[in-house]
Amino acid sequence: RMSRHAKKLRDHDINPCVAETEATTKCMDDNNYNKDMCTDYFLKYRNCRKFWHEIMMQRKRNGVKPEMPSAEERKKILESMG
């Protein structure tokens, strides 16, 4: 059974970087947990977290609720950026 924390990490509305998280985990599994083999995945994950953290802080400053846009809203934000 999955813990509440694990469920949150897999929830696309809560975690904007589910795909990056899963890709990093798969890379680590496939490469016998050799971090050096997965540098690109870690970088993509870090960039994803940083990007959505900035969006969240901006929304917080502007009083927008919820602070983290829903999965659908995030998709539109990304599409508008090209």
Above 80 in pLDDT, residue 6? no
Above 90 in pLDDT, residue 3? no
User: Which of the four pLDDT bands, split at 50, 70 and 90, describes residue 52?
Assistant: very high
Structural domain span for residue 48: 4-81
Which residues, at least 6 apart from 41, have a Cβ–Cβ distance to it below 8 Å? 20, 23, 24, 27
DSSP designation for 3: -
Please tell me the pTM assigned to this model. Answer: 0.82
Q: Would the CA dihedral through 40, 27, 56, 72 be positive or negative?
A: positive
- Identity of the amino acid at 65: K
User: Which of the four pLDDT bands, split at 50, 70 and 90, describes residue 72?
Assistant: very high
Residue 22: closest CA among 9, 37, 39: 9
Domain count, the chain: 1
Q: What is the three-class DSSP state of 1? A: coil
